[in-house]
Amino acid sequence: MKAFISVFKKDIKSEIRTRYSISAILLFILTSSSIIGFSVAGTKLDEKLASALLWVIMFFTSMIGLSKSFVSEEERGTIMLLKLYTSSSSVYFGKLLFNIVLCAIINLFASMLFLLFINQIELRSLSIFFTSIILGSVAIGSASTIISAIISKANVKNAIFPVLSFPIMLPIILSGLEATRLSFESTSLFEASSLFFQMIAFTIAIISISYVLFGFVWNE
């Protein structure tokens, strides 16, 4: 318990110290949201299209922010220290927690900025909207953890990460997209519950599979 919290804290301190990912993420969110906002200004925007645009921003924002989880350890040469002093399960759960927290924060910020710029869409259900964002962030953060570990030794890490991530994350993106669309309509939380269960089931499955695979990836 203490070991994985230490890994989590180490990643937070490292991110705050370098600020590379955070700066790139904030710039991308601001640029993409403002461009979309100015492009659709004065036009009627369909709920499904608005939902799709938001999830495109969230996906690529996550690709920028989460790809460095294990890659940065390889680049700094600190991965051997982690292997010597920390168990594979502690490293996995520490990185997993960091990715989930970072993904949730950046996606909540992206969604609020998106709503600020895209004022043609009326948000009718805050509970459905933010539940879909949080569950989607947890799922994306979970999937990106094992993918980042797999690609950390590759030569073209930045190119491979989104290519591997998209097919794995596609089910969660589609469920989240549909749930977000329902939040723009007069829909009850109960009607969106099946989509939320799908997102939770995906997250449980990906964490379970990743935990089993991580030991092999880590010790290779």
Q: How confident is the model at residue 175 (pLDDT cuts 50, 70, 90)?
A: very high
Per-residue pLDDT at 23: 80
pLDDT band at 134 (very low <50, low <70, confident <90, very high): very high
Q: What is the model's pLDDT at position 107?
A: 92
**Averaged pLDDT score across all residues of the chain:** 84
Q: Which residue has the tokens 């910020």?
A: 109
Q: What is the DSSP string of 161-213?
A: HHHHHHHHHHHHHHHHHHHHHHHTTT--TTTTHHHHHHHHHHHHHHHHHHHHH
pLDDT in tens, 18-30: 766 778 888 888 8
* Whole-prediction pTM: 0.90
Model confidence band, residue 135 (pLDDT cutoffs 50, 70, 90): very high
Domain boundary assignment for the chain: 2-219
